[in-house]
């Protein structure tokens, strides 16, 4: 009976204690909840996070410290090497996945050591407790019992709020590694120059032990101590059976070598831009190819090191297929105050110079206004009072559209823009992604094609890529998740013809094929220089890449003597030649079906097989679009004799021209001539001019009003004379000249270069100081002209 009484007594006491246990448990839980609410764990916020911008392969480009100046790169258990997780958990807390935040056996051992020695010998800390200490350091507590109790309670809090992986992520991101370096990813890049995902066993062991004493074990300062601590971890991994003895022996052979601590700084201005565009994002992945970026940053810095102070440069390389930026150099050297290196010139508004001309010619092709060999006039002209000149002040007379684009001639471009329409051209560019900027209150005008507007390098690169994307322009993308914005700018055929024109231009310093092994990529390139030498441009590309280069001064002051062809183009060509190549890069892409090569004739500009052989004075091969072979433009000035086919009757015996009113009957025969635009006459050979002139009227015929414009007479200089400098004079021969025979404006050209303008009988004063043979031409607005040849003696 006594056992029964004992069992009954136990049950009685159990019934009495159970309510107390229940209330005690509830009270404890409520107390813990109240403490948790009153003193919540100090979890990180976005505001105290640093930001890391990385290249497409994960290599850091630039790290931005947090508010305390700490460099911290995001890391997760999935983003680091398995070796590191094995070493960390095996050495620091192998029961991490099982305990509730504290390890009772380890705590008991630490308590026993404290009781025996009167001080804390081993902390018994778990990874969770270490995270609690990192988040709430409380330096005054040190290694005291009270400090350990606080860590214990904080660890329980963390385990209640976070998963194991979330706690581990906090450690991987915030563990101290010496100086202002926190987290294994930042430490791996800072000390080893590689991502934490590629750590070897030896490197993983080193970084696993480093947070225990980051100041004493820093590998850049104490490689010996760091190696001893690393080897201790390696031996622990053998003891645990995690790694084999052979693996550990191999790992011990690796030396402890650390780089000098320097934060990454590549594509610095792009990183700054992406950080501003993605607030609160700790890790930003860009599209940059880090190897290409480093190489081009060095090349730009070296290339422009000899330029004057305050000179900067920008370079942008994009992949044509995706329009992703592969390299972004916003200035010559970030941080160089003398060169204003903090100003991002990739997105600065600047005058584009002549870089918009390819799209004007493409639009003219799509409109059926021209083909590639259309006869354009490069001579002094007035467009509603606007008189453009060429960069070198020289004129070429009759010029093919392809040559006008390759030579970047200004007068033909303004002529085309006047026919296409400045407002329409600007609207088409705006739709394609180039929003031109004009002064307040201004509207698109003819000067925009010569740089009288504003654009950015990134806009121009996205638009020039259209020449290699079947006419589709787009916005350059800097992150893989950026939404594409593609818009049609030109038809595929027009894009192909313009690209073919630009690709056929000889590289500076040599002709096509010279020292060429055949694998050099075909490059379509276009340069530009803004008014006053403020901006030098080069835009170009291959079928795989488009490259843009800008050179100038960010403050807008002139850079005399520096222009696109000599300053920006060499860097562009060097960059293109350094890009990865593929088979077929040097081959011309086949033309679209609606592009056909046709033989045309000047001066009419139409197909050679569609006109009489006698009217074909010069034959050229032309690329045509959609079967259109448009004729040469008619003269703008009604006072000039318009270009085109002119039919007339002649006396069959004498060849004299017959009008409708002749005194005597004549045997009539029909004839035709092809007339050239009047303004190109000074550049034509004498035989060509004679072939394009009407024969004189028969003596008994009344005038028919078809005579050519009258010739001018130059007063003050005779044909064939030699000019001598005055004895003892330090200057050249000074003359006063005037053109007689026109009441309108007269342009004066010396050896094809514009030297001045007069009206009516006004005098032109000029000093002839260059020895040798010269030609002086006076060209009136109505097409009348006169040239005299002379010499200036030595």
What is the set of active-site residues? 92, 354
| For the chain, counts of helices (H) and of strands (E) | 20, 27
Contacts for 309 with CB less than 8 Å, ≥ 6 apart:
338, 339
**Residue 448: DSSP 8-state:** G
Contacts for 170 with CB less than 8 Å, ≥ 6 apart:
44, 131, 134, 135, 162
Let me know the angle formed at the C-alpha of 378 by 548 and 352, rounded to the nearest 5 degrees: 20
Spell out the alpha helix ranges (H) of 220-350: 223-239, 245-253, 268-277, 290-303
**CA 307 distance to own-chain centroid:** 21
Spell out the alpha helix ranges (H) of 126-176: 127-135, 145-161, 164-174
How many residues would you count in the chain?
Answer: 794
Find the Cα–Cα–Cα–Cα dihedral 498, 503, 506, 509, rounded to 10°.
120
Closest CA to 752 of 777, 771, 732, 773: 777
For residue 581, the SS3 value is: coil
Closest CA to 68 of 92, 89, 47, 39: 47
Find the largest Cα–Cα distance for the chain.
166
Contacts for 648 with CB less than 8 Å, ≥ 6 apart:
657, 658, 670, 671, 672, 673, 694, 706
**Does residue 605 contact residue 632 with C-beta atoms inside 8 Å?**
yes
User: What Cα–Cα distance (Å) separates residue 305 from each residue in 267, 550, 660?
Assistant: 18, 15, 74
User: What Cα–Cα distance (Å) separates residue 788 from each residue in 349, 395, 681?
Assistant: 46, 17, 14
Placement of tokens 């246990």 in the chain:
21
Contacts for 466 with CB less than 8 Å, ≥ 6 apart:
359, 432, 472, 473, 474, 489, 490, 495
Contacts for 328 with CB less than 8 Å, ≥ 6 apart:
267, 269, 270, 288, 293, 315, 316, 317, 346, 478
């Amino acid at each position: 009976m006594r056992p029964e009484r004992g069992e009954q007594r136990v049950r009685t006491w159990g019934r009495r204690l159970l309510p107390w246990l229940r209330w005690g448990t509830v009270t404890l839980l409520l107390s813990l909840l109240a403490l948790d609410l009153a003193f919540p764990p100090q979890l990180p916020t976005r505001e105290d996070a640093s930001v890391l911008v990385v290249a497409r392969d994960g290599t850091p480009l630039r790290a931005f410290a947090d508010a305390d100046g700490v460099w911290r790169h995001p890391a997760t258990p999935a983003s680091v090497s398995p070796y590191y997780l094995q070493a960390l958990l095996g050495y620091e807390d192998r029961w991490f996945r099982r305990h509730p935040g504290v390890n009772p056996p380890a705590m008991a051992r630490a308590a026993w050591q404290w009781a025996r020695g009167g001080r804390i010998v081993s902390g018994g800390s778990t990874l969770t407790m270490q995270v609690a200490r990192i988040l709430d350091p409380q330096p005054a507590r040190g290694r005291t019992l009270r400090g350990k109790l606080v860590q214990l309670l904080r660890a329980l809090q963390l385990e209640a709020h976070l998963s194991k992986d979330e706690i581990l992520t906090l450690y991987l991101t915030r563990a101290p590694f010496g100086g202002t370096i926190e987290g294994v990813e930042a430490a791996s890049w800072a000390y080893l120059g590689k991502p934490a995902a590629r750590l070897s066993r030896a490197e993983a062991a080193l970084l696993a032990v480093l947070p225990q004493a980051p100041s004493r074990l820093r590998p850049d300062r104490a490689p010996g101590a760091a190696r001893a601590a690393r080897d201790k971890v390696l031996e622990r991994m053998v003891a645990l059976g995690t790694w084999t003895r052979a693996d550990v022996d191999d790992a011990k052979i690796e030396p402890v070598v650390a780089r000098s601590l320097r934060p990454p700084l590549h594509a610095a201005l792009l990183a700054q831009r992406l950080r501003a565009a993605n607030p609160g994002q700790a890790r930003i992945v860009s599209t940059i190819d880090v190897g290409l970026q480093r190489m081009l940053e060095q090349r730009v810095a070296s290339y422009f090191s000899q330029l004057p102070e305050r000179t900067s440069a920008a370079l942008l390389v994009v992949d044509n297929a995706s329009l992703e930026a592969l390299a972004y150099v916003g200035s010559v050297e970030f941080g160089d105050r003398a060169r204003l290196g903090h100003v991002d010139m990739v997105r600065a508004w600047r005058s584009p110079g002549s870089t918009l001309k390819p799209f004007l010619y493409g639009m003219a092709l799509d409109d059926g206004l021209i083909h590639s060999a259309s006869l354009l006039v490069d001579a002094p002209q007035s467009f509603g009072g606007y008189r453009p000149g060429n960069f070198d002040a020289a004129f070429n007379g009759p010029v093919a559209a392809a040559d006008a684009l390759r030579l970047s001639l200004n007068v033909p471009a303004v002529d085309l823009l006047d026919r296409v329409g400045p407002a329409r051209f600007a609207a088409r560019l705006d739709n394609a992604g180039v929003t031109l900027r004009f002064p307040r209150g201004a509207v698109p005008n003819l000067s925009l094609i010569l740089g009288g507007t504003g654009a950015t390098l990134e806009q121009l690169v996205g638009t020039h890529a259209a020449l290699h994307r079947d006419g589709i322009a787009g916005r350059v993308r800097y992150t893989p998740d950026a939404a594409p914005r593609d818009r049609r700018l030109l038809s595929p055929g027009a894009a192909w013809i313009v690209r073919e024109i630009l690709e056929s231009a000889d590289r500076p310093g040599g002709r096509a094929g010279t020292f060429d092994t055949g694998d050099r990529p075909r490059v379509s390139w276009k340069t530009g220089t803004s008014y006053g030498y403020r901006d030098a441009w080069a835009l170009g590309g291959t079928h795989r890449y488009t490259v843009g280069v800008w050179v100038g001064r960010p403050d807008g002051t002139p850079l005399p003597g520096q222009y696109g062809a000599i300053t920006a183009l060499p860097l562009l060509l060097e960059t293109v030649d350094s890009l990865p190549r593929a088979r077929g890069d040097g081959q011309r892409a086949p033309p679209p079906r609606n592009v056909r090569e046709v033989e045309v004739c000047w001066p009419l500009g139409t197909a050679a097989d569609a006109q009489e052989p006698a009217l074909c004075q010069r034959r050229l091969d032309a690329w045509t679009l959609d079967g259109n072979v448009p004729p040469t433009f008619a003269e703008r000035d009604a006072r000039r004799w318009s270009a085109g086919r002119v039919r007339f009757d002649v006396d069959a015996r004498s060849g004299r021209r017959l009008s409708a009113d002749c005194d005597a009957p004549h045997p009539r025969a029909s004839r035709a001539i092809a007339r050239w635009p009047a303004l190109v006459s000074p550049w034509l050979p004498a035989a060509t001019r004679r072939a394009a002139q009407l024969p004189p009227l028969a003596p008994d015929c009344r005038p028919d009003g078809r005579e050519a414009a009258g010739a001018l007479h130059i007063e003050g200089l005779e044909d064939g004379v030699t000019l001598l400098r005055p004895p003892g004079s330090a200057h050249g021969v000074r003359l006063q000249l005037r053109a007689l025979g026109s009441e309108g404006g007269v342009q004066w050209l010396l050896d094809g270069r514009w030297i001045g303008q007069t009206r009516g009988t006004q005098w032109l004063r000029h000093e002839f100081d260059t020895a040798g043979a010269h030609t002086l031409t006076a060209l009136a607005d109505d097409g009348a002209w006169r040239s005299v040849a002379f010499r200036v003696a030595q």
